[in-house]
Amino acid sequence: MDNDRIASLIHLYEDGALNRRDIIRKLIGCTGSLTAAMAVLESTGLAQTTTAACAGDVRVAENDPAVYGEMLTLYGSGPLYAYQARPSVDSFTQARPAVLVVHENQGLTSYIKDVTRRIAKAGYVGIAVDLLSRQGGTGQFPTAETAMAAYNRTTQEERRADMLSTLFTIREQPYVIRDKLGAIGFCAGGGNVYDLAINTDQLSAAVVYYGPAPNPVDQVSKITAPLLGIYPELDRGTTGPLSSVLSTLVAGNKRYSLHIYENTNHAFHNDTGPRYDAGAACDAWSKTLVFLNEHLR
């Protein structure tokens, strides 16, 4: 069996990039039988997983009249694609804080666009950069697997440059308060938010959802923005290094808030995937909005 591909498929399924039919079909291709495919799902605790209904007023539809969303083309090292969402009321006349939304390793997905609209509905300018822009954009990759492979071809330096280009472009817009900038990232995007916060002092708030810790961890001592960390208890790969992150933040007298949600797993905020936990996700989002309001208003 191709264990690396199986691990990638499971990750995509957890993040909502594959539905249940797709994951079973692809696992059969890897393992050779339905029985073996189901055994893989059993071993990850996903065989009988059901996704709870999303709590009311969480998702924001593309046609929600309270939000104006659009794709933009910015320019950094070539065309840089981004999805922007703003409150419809006074969207062109009232300057607001802006929040950069950083996607997981499957590119600019519908889930991330929805999160960007949630940011806008909370009264901010949300902008989600497509970190696959240098390869033509997420739309050039027809499957989650090819999009993830494209993401894996990017480098940290490229991703950092594209995040900074987006941030520095959005802050110059007349509808943005240029010194009130935040960033929020999920999974790999959380790791990118760590990197962004380490390498710029232009952020007033940084939010990391189950992002991998910087390596080496002591880099977090360079972070100047207040930091909110949202983590799942059962995702040991991301929660494991938190003690070192925490000790470094404390030693550096940094401003931070850290929440670990009991009995939740990776991608629990993603309501398109099987790990979604409505209670934890809604509480985490509430804490996120309180944090952003405290530091960006």
Which residue segments constitute the domains of the chain, with CATH numbers given? 3-44 (no CATH), 67-296 (3.40.50.1820)
* Rounded-to-integer distance, Cα 6 and Cα 78, Å: 34
Q: Hey, CA dihedral for 8, 9, 11, 15, is it positive or negative?
A: positive
* Rounded-to-integer distance, Cα 100 and Cα 205, Å: 10
Supply the pLDDT for residue 40.
67
Supply the pLDDT for residue 277.
94
Supply the pLDDT for residue 38.
67
With contact defined as beta carbons under 8 Å apart, do 283 and 256 qualify? no
Taking residue 68's Cβ as centre, other Cβ atoms within 10 Å add up to 16
Structure tokens at 269: 């905020």
- DSSP annotation of 262 reads T
Residue 252: closest CA among 231, 226, 229: 226
* Residues 6+ away with beta carbon under 8 Å from 215: none
Structure tokens at 75: 């320019």
- DSSP annotation of 120 reads H
User: Which H or E element spans position 176?
Assistant: strand 176-186
Structure tokens at 94: 């009232």
Per-residue pLDDT tens listing for the chain (297 residues): 577 787 777 767 776 667 777 777 776 777 766 556 566 666 766 655 544 444 555 889 999 999 999 999 998 778 999 999 999 987 667 899 999 999 999 999 999 999 999 999 999 999 999 999 999 999 999 999 999 999 999 999 999 999 999 999 999 999 999 999 999 999 999 999 999 999 999 999 999 999 999 999 999 999 999 999 999 999 999 999 999 999 999 999 999 999 999 999 999 999 998 899 999 999 999 999 999 999 998
Structure tokens at 8: 């990638």
Supply the pLDDT for residue 48.
57
Structure tokens at 120: 């806008």
* Rounded-to-integer distance, Cα 223 and Cα 203, Å: 9
Supply the pLDDT for residue 54.
46
